[in-house]
Amino acid sequence: MSAATESTYTPATATGRITNFVDQRVGGSGILREFGRKVFPDHWSFMFGEVALYTFVILLLSGTFLTFFFDPSMAESTYNGSYVPLKGVDMSVAMNSTLNISFDVRGGLFMRQVHHWSALLFTASIAVHMLRVFFTGAFRKPRELNWVVGGVLLILSLADGFTGYSLPDDLLSGNGLRIIQGVISSIPVIGTYISFFLFGGEFPGTAIIGRLYVLHILLVPAMILLMIAIHLFMVVVHKHTQYPGPGRNDRNVVGYPLGPVYAAKAGGFFFIIFGVIALMAAFFTINPIWNYGPYDPSPISAGTQPDWYIGWVDGALRLMPGWLLGIPLEWNIPLPWGVNTLSLNVLLPALVPAGIVFTVLFAYPWIERWVTKDDREHHVLDRPRNAPTRTAIGMAGFTFYCVLWAAASSDLIATHFHVSLNDVIYWLRALFFIGPIIAFTVTKRIALALQRKDREIALHGRETGRIVRLPHGEYQEVHAQLDDYKRYKLVGYESPEPSDGVPNGNGVVTKQERRRAMISRLFFEDRVAPATPAELEAAHAHAPVHEQIEEPERLKEVSH
Amino acid sequence: MKALSQRRRHPLAAVALLLMGLMLTGGLYAVATTVNKAKADTTYSADDAHEGGKLFVANCATCHGMGASGSPDGPSLVGVGAAAVDFQVGTGRMPMQLQGPQAQQKPKQFNDEQTRQLAAYVASLGAGPAVPEEKYLDGQGDAANGGVLFRVNCAMCHNAAAAGGALTRGKFAPALAGVANSHVYEAMITGPQNMPVFNDANITPEGKRDIITFLDTIEANGSPGGADLGSLGPVSEGLFIWIAGLGVVIAFTIWLTSRTS
């Protein structure tokens, strides 16, 4: 720094002088030099995190516009705006101002739709980003903590989505809020108290919209921003992962530097995302609160669902029977201070599936680390097929989620596919249990089959379909060998072997270690080993005739 | 004329011809259907009932029995009134195509005159709800009040935007767009299929008129925010963002990264 401050360099242009002035005070060129040289590998599946970041920026911009006109008050008012089918209807000020944004503020409806569509895209891109990270094994050391931060970001985005969904105080979101209130009340002993504190009295009360508003625009976004900062900081520290390929290993990153190519691409990508959302907002309506009308605890509309990201919890509630084998799932338990109701038909579906999904999600990096005893850093990703058990576990979880998700639209499945609503529920209940098992088995078999195919192609090349008759009468099919770059992709992966229990310092294989060995076998016992150099050598040299007949094929390939 | 014949081999000539043909048939059809809509008056002559009786024996008695006294395959129609007949036959639900969870709508089998005669016959069997008066069907009531009534009484099955919804065991509440005002009114007073009856004590005739006005208004206004995605709420919105939204975004990501690796 001291060298920089004493610099006698005077730039020729005015811009140069201003830049130099700033640089001497904040050291911008050093930062730029450091960040501009950061290398990012290029792959389309690496860009979902960026999509999430950009939609969050769009959410901040459009949300700020909406706060100018939205009034989170639950005071009673009479609508007197432009939308005729609601003229003269009593509603809360929150609903009234949202209708005004939609019909009387210039560009208001567009901004509302921009905000809501980008909220849906925000959560969707986070979900896809996490799926990519999971299936490619990018959560492994050193990125376990960043995986956790990502999981927290997912939960925060759901929280911000739900609080925002409730703000207009329309019939749809009011019913959603009522379900949440029901879930809270089902928590034993303290549930009703939490509900009372949250809603400031009996549901719906006059406080909840204002409180959700503060959470929605202040606390949750602030936490999201903090988590994004930590998330990105760790990305910089860890460097980006890359797909396997020739010349790529755990000690390098192959790709483009941030400046100028990647910075330009990323900047342009922001405007692409903004453009896509703006087009959607302009041509497709979302959350038409004027259809739903103001919230009133008595009516409900058919086809009432939460936004997609809360759908799976709603689906779990729909799947849960109230009675099981003739036994009611709701008990009134007499306790010294009075009768408490234990409502398992609400408590279990609301908390258990979400509990399972998030526990496994957060714990998975450590589960795999424990099973493989792998303490090395990994910067090269796995192709999903090359980690069959992990991929199978991921697909099982994905299926579990999707069954619940589908259950949230059970009524629409029934009407649109002309089937009985009851049958939809029965089938989804069955799939809730067997779907993940089927998905696990099928995925694992597909992954292993793909690995065998890769191995076959690496060893023997691709079938060309050209049959050649040799001078002595033998028929052979000509196989085209892959070039070295393509072959590397098929053989250059790690394939852990099942590890037996390792004795500890006292020479004893502990129970826990034996359990670990068992799970390790489950993970890796049917592994398909990548072709070794010796195998490749043997396969390619096994028949001189083979070599001969391949010659013209190769020449042909070169000639065109 | 010469200019026209010169252009007859223009590449777009066939398209223009097709368009003209479609507009002509469409226009004629529209005229024909509005002619058909000429409203039947609600007083029936003995002759109407007599003709209706003959139609009934030929088309309905198989299930509903002679004299509409009912059979194991269909309920008695004594006392259901002219409104029920006008609704069921006028929307094509009766004669029923097949037994199922509920009678499906289909192209109607009888013209307005025959429907009127059938209604006259059934009305002559016993007192029941009559075909509604024209003044409640004009769609000139209070749309906002109709909306309130609709949300309280109808939306839980028919959806707040009248887009329809599911009931148990394959039954459903149909979407209400395109349903004639008279049929909406008749459905309320007769409770067809699984629908409850909303009698005049429940919702006054003026209230029913407001509901009809509300339905007419939302149907005529369309969706203020762009394509309505079926008015099905968050499910179609979620499908849209996952398929169209993410689909387009993925296409762009592939495009942006296509030059390398």
Test B234 with A308 for CB contact under 8 angstroms.
Answer: yes
Query: Please, are residues A401 and A536 in contact by the beta-carbon 8 Å criterion?
Result: no
pLDDT, tens digit, 9 for 90 and up, residues A460-505? 888 888 898 989 999 988 888 888 888 888 888 888 888 888 888 8
pLDDT of residue B13: 82
Chain B residues whose beta carbon lies within 8 Å of the beta carbon of residue A157: none
Q: Is residue B96 part of a domain?
A: yes
Average pLDDT over residues B209-225: 91
pLDDT number for residue B99: 84
Within this chain, do residues B109 and B125 fall inside the same structural domain, yes or no?
A: yes
Q: Pick the residue of A40, A44, A105 with the most B CBs within 10 A to test the interface with B by mutation.
A: A44
DSSP A412-425: HHHHHTT--HHHHH
Contact A266, A50 (CB under 8 A): yes
Query: What are the C-alpha distances in Å from B214 to residues A228, A541, B164, B179?
Result: 47, 82, 16, 13
CB crowding A173-210: b at 16 or more within 10 Å, else e: bbbbbebbbbbbbbbeeebeeebeebbeeebbbeebbe
Check CB contact of A88 with chain B, cutoff 8 Å: yes
Count the neighbouring beta carbons within 10 Å of the beta carbon of residue A373. 11
Q: What is the pLDDT of residue A249?
A: 85
Partner B, chain A 243-262, Cβ-Cβ below 8 Å: 243, 245, 255-256
Residue B260: pLDDT band (50, 70, 90) is low
- pLDDT for the residue numbered A335: 86
User: pLDDT at position A557, please?
Assistant: 45
CB atoms under 10 Å from CB of A287, counted, come to: 27
ipTM, two decimals: 0.89
Give A170's strand partners: A294
| CATH label of the domain that carries residue B88 | 1.10.760.10
pLDDT tens by residue, A493-508: 888 888 888 888 888 8
Chain B residues whose CB is inside 8 A of the A415 CB are 164-166, 172
Residues 85-124 of B with CB under 8 A from A: 101
Please name the helix (run of DSSP H) or strand (run of DSSP E) that holds residue A146, with its range, or none: helix A144-166
Interface test with B, best of A254, A256, A412, A424 (most B CBs within 10 A): A412
| Residues B20 and B77 both lie in one domain | no
CA A40/CA A51 separation, integer angstroms: 16
B48 shares a domain with B111 = yes
Q: Which residue of A has its CA nearest to B250?
A: A44
Q: Between A37 and A177, whose confidence is greater? A: A177
Same domain flag for B57 and B31: no
The answer on B76 and B46 residing in a single domain is yes
Instruction: Tell me, yes or no, whether B226 lies in a domain.
Output: no
Residue A528 and residue A536: Cα distance in Å, rounded? 15
pLDDT over 60 at A546, yes or no: no
Are A288 and B167 within 8 A, CB to CB? no
Phi and psi, residue B109, nearest 5°: -95, -20
* Alpha-carbon distance A559 to nearest alpha carbon in chain B (angstroms): 25
- Backbone phi and psi for residue A373, each to the nearest 5 degrees, phi listed first: 55, 35
Residues of chain B found within 8 Å of residue A88, distances taken between Cβ atoms: 144-145
Is the pLDDT reported for residue A100 higher than 50?
Answer: yes
Per the structure, the complete domain to which residue B65 belongs is given by: 39-129
Question: CA B161, CA A293: separation in Å to the nearest integer?
Answer: 10
Spatial separation of the C-alpha atoms in residues B119 and B56, rounded to whole Å: 10
Average pLDDT over residues A343-364: 93
Nearest to A346 by CA among A491, A128, A182: A182
CA-based nearest residue in chain A for residue B230: A285
- pLDDT digit string, tens, across residues B73-98: 888 998 898 999 999 999 999 888 88
pLDDT greater than 90 at residue B67: no
Is A51 near chain B, with CB under 8 Å?
yes
Residues in chain B: 261
Q: How many domains does chain B divide into?
A: 2
Exposed/middle/buried for B104, CB within 10 Å: 0-12, 13-18, 19+?
Answer: middle
Residues of B in contact with A85 (CB under 8 A): 143-144, 146-147, 214, 217-218, 221
Tokens of A29: 């060129």
Q: Which helix (H) or strand (E) holds A521?
A: helix A511-524
- pLDDT (average), residues B134-138: 88
In a domain, B227, yes or no: no
pLDDT tens digits for range A516-536? 999 999 899 888 888 888 888
Q: Taking CB atoms and an 8 Å cutoff, what residues of chain A touch B261? A: 41-43, 243, 245
Pairing between strand A323-324 and A330-335? unpaired
φ/ψ bin of A180: left (φ > 0), alpha (ψ from -120 to 50), beta (otherwise):
alpha
Q: Are B87 and B115 part of one and the same domain?
A: yes
The verdict on residue B258 lying in a domain is no
Residue range B124-139: mean pLDDT, rounded: 87
User: Are B49 and B66 in the same domain?
Assistant: yes
State how far Cα B233 lies from the chain centre.
21
Residues B90 and B47 in one domain: yes
Residue A493 CA to residue A450 CA, distance in Å, equals 14
In a domain, B101, yes or no: yes
Q: Mean pLDDT score of chain A, rounded to an integer?
A: 89
Q: Is residue B207 part of a domain?
A: no
Please determine, for residue A45, whether its predicted confidence score (pLDDT) is greater than 80: yes
The answer to whether residues B7 and B60 belong to one domain is no
Are residues B28 and B51 located together in one domain of the fold? no
Q: Is B96 left (phi over 0), alpha (psi -120 to 50) or beta?
A: beta
- Which of B75, B97, B129 corresponds to the end of one domain? B129
> What is the mean predicted confidence (pLDDT) over B49-56?
90
Whether A183 has a pLDDT exceeding 60, the answer reads yes
Pair B57, B32 in one domain: no
Which of A45, A112, A286, A295 would best serve as a mutation to test chain B binding (most B beta carbons within 10 A)?
Answer: A286
Identify from A78, A284, A295, A422 which residue to disrupt to test chain B contact, counting B C-beta atoms within 10 A and taking the largest count.
Answer: A284
Task: Give the H or E element holding residue B86.
Answer: helix B81-90
**In chain B, positions 135-174, which contact chain A (CB-CB < 8 Å)?**
143-148, 151-152, 155-161, 163-170, 172-173
Is A146's pLDDT higher than 70?
yes
Write down all domains in chain A, each with its CATH number in brackets: 1-36 (no CATH), 37-310 (1.20.810.10), 443-559 (no CATH)
Q: Is residue B104 part of a domain?
A: yes
Q: How far is A318 from chain B (nearest CA, A)?
A: 13
Task: Judge whether B157 lies within some domain.
Answer: no
Average pLDDT, chain B: 87
The Cβ-side half-sphere exposure at B183, using a 13 Å CA radius, reads: 18
pLDDT at A489: 86
Model confidence at A550, in pLDDT bands (50, 70, 90)? very low
Q: Which residue of A has its CA nearest to B147?
A: A85
Do the Cβ atoms of A43 and B261 come within 8 Å?
yes
Write the DSSP symbol of residue B227.
B
Same domain, B66 and B107: yes
Across the interface, do A124 and B242 touch by the CB < 8 Å criterion?
Answer: yes
Q: Of B90, B111, B129, which one is at a domain's C-terminal end?
A: B129
Chain segment B92-102, per-residue pLDDT in tens: 998 888 888 88
Number of H helices, E strands in chain B: 12, 2
Chain A segment 277-296 residues within 8 A of B by beta carbon are 277, 280-288, 290-293, 296
